[in-house]
């Protein structure tokens, strides 16, 4: 999808929050949006998610299958957590038992199953946030937008959300997020958007790497996705530099050959 010369202001006399912003997003890409308080990150994410129209410019090829966790979840709806998820699941095209099963699975996964039949306004902030996250993961999407979705979640729910994002990326979704933790999803982040004074500066995030030392055969290793360099050290010792995001796959490749022995991963 593409944002073309986007401008946004709230009201005809309001200051321009975003000015002439053009950005491109590709499938499977994880983008982190950064900037100070009030710089316009949430405004940008709402436009990317299709939740808010820009004042100027156009959004091209906005995926129909998309989900969004807003910074502030509308927790005052007079529904139980379960009913809310069922309702949204049907809107997303899930049918019959699938919607019930998926809602139950997500509430369980994020540790909110025991609150499934409580009304949303009665839920604690963290549990409400778990429901907000669960609604975004109800069905497969091509675009996932997360505005501080980790805030308020307990440690295990935060880890589950990290895993869920990695799964979405694996399936080819584009994910755009804002989070306070500078290390959040660092190994997967492909680009950063710096939002400042109405503009957005894009930079590629350098992919972190791992060095795998093993003893065995390096045949075919250069062709494995994520492998950046293969160096021989002595007769059978090999050092492989891989993008961290691919290191598990490279290790699996190496261990398929019983003669290979992994010495270290750093
Ligand atoms: N609905 C609105 N009506 C009027 N002004 C708004 C509205 N939403 C945001 N703004 C203004 O737009 C500017 C950018 O706000 P936005 O919430 O996008 O920033 P942010 O970078 O996400 O901030 P924070 O880090 O504090 O969440 C701010 O000056 C804010 O007051």
Over 5-44, what HEC string results?
A: EEEEECCCCCCEEEEEEEEECCCCCEEEEECCCCCCHHHH
Neighbours of 206 (CB within 10 A): 7
What pLDDT score was predicted for residue 64? Answer: 95
Residue of minimum CA distance from atom 1 in ligand 1: 10
**Residue 134's closest CA among 172, 104, 176?**
104
pLDDT in tens, 33-80: 999 999 999 999 999 999 999 999 999 999 999 999 999 887 788 899
Residue of minimum CA distance from atom 24 in ligand 1: 37
- Residue 238 has φ and ψ, to the nearest 5°, of -135, 140
- Residue 71 has φ and ψ, to the nearest 5°, of -60, -40
Indicate the pLDDT class of residue 207, thresholds 50, 70 and 90.
low
Question: How large is the ipTM?
Answer: 0.98
Q: Which residue has the higher pLDDT, 51 or 266?
A: 51
Q: Which residue has the higher pLDDT, 150 or 236?
A: 150
Stretch 90-101: mean pLDDT: 92
CA angle 224, 230, 233 (to 5 degrees): 145
Ligand 1 centroid from CA 44, angstroms: 10
81 touches 118 (CB < 8 A): yes
Distance CA 56, CA 5 (A): 7
Stretch 242-266: mean pLDDT: 89
71 CA: nearest ligand 1 atom: 27
Distances (CA, A) of 15 to 3, 19, 39, 177: 20, 10, 12, 24
Residue of minimum CA distance from atom 16 in ligand 1: 40
To test the pocket of ligand 1, the residue of 42, 45, 71, 151 to mutate (highest count of ligand atoms within 8 Å of its CB) is: 42
* Most distant pair of Cα atoms in the chain: their distance: 72
Determine whether 49 is exposed, middle or buried from the number of CB atoms within 10 Å of its CB (0-12, 13-18, 19+): buried
Stretch 209-214: mean pLDDT: 87
Domain limits, the chain? 2-204, 209-265
Residues whose beta carbon lies within 6 Å of some atom of ligand 1: 10, 17, 35, 37-43, 71
* pLDDT(5) > 80: yes
DSSP 215: E
Assess if CATH 3.30.70 describes domain 209-265. Answer: yes
195 CA: nearest ligand 1 atom: 21
Ligand 1 centroid from CA 225, angstroms: 40
Ligand 1 centroid from CA 79, angstroms: 28
Enumerate the H helices of the chain as residue ranges: 41-48, 81-91, 96-109, 125-136, 155-170, 247-255
The CATH class for the domain spanning 2-204 reads alpha beta
Ligand 1 centroid from CA 9, angstroms: 10
Stretch 166-195: mean pLDDT: 91
The radius of gyration of the chain's CA atoms, rounded to the nearest angstrom, is 21
């Amino acid at each position: 999808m593409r944002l073309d010369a986007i401008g946004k202001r709230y009201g005809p006399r309001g200051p321009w929050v975003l000015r002439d912003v053009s950005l491109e997003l590709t499938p499977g890409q994880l983008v982190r949006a950064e900037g100070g308080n009030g710089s316009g990150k949430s405004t940008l994410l709402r436009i990317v998610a299709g939740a808010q129209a820009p004042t100027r410019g156009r959004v091209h090829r906005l995926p129909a299958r998309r989900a969004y966790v807003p910074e502030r979840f509308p927790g005052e709806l007079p529904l139980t957590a379960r009913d809310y998820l069922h309702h949204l699941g049907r809107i997303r095209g899930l049918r019959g038992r699938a919607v019930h099963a998926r809602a139950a699975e997500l509430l369980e996964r994020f540790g909110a199953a025991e609150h499934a039949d409580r009304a949303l306004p009665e839920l604690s902030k963290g549990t409400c946030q778990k429901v907000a996250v669960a609604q975004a993961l109800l069905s497969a999407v091509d675009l996932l937008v997360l505005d501080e979705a980790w805030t308020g979640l307990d440690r295990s729910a935060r880890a589950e959300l990290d895993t869920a994002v990695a799964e979405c990326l694996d399936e080819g979704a584009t994910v755009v997020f804002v989070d306070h933790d500078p290390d959040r999803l660092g190994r997967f982040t492909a680009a950063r958007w710096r939002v400042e004074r109405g503009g957005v500066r894009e930079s590629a995030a350098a992919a972190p790497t791992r060095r795998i030392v093993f003893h065995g055969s390096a045949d075919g290793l250069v062709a494995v996705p994520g492998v950046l360099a293969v160096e021989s050290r002595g007769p059978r010792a090999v050092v492989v530099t891989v993008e961290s995001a691919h290191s598990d796959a490279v290790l699996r490749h190496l261990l398929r050959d019983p003669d290979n022995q992994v010495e270290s991963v750093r």
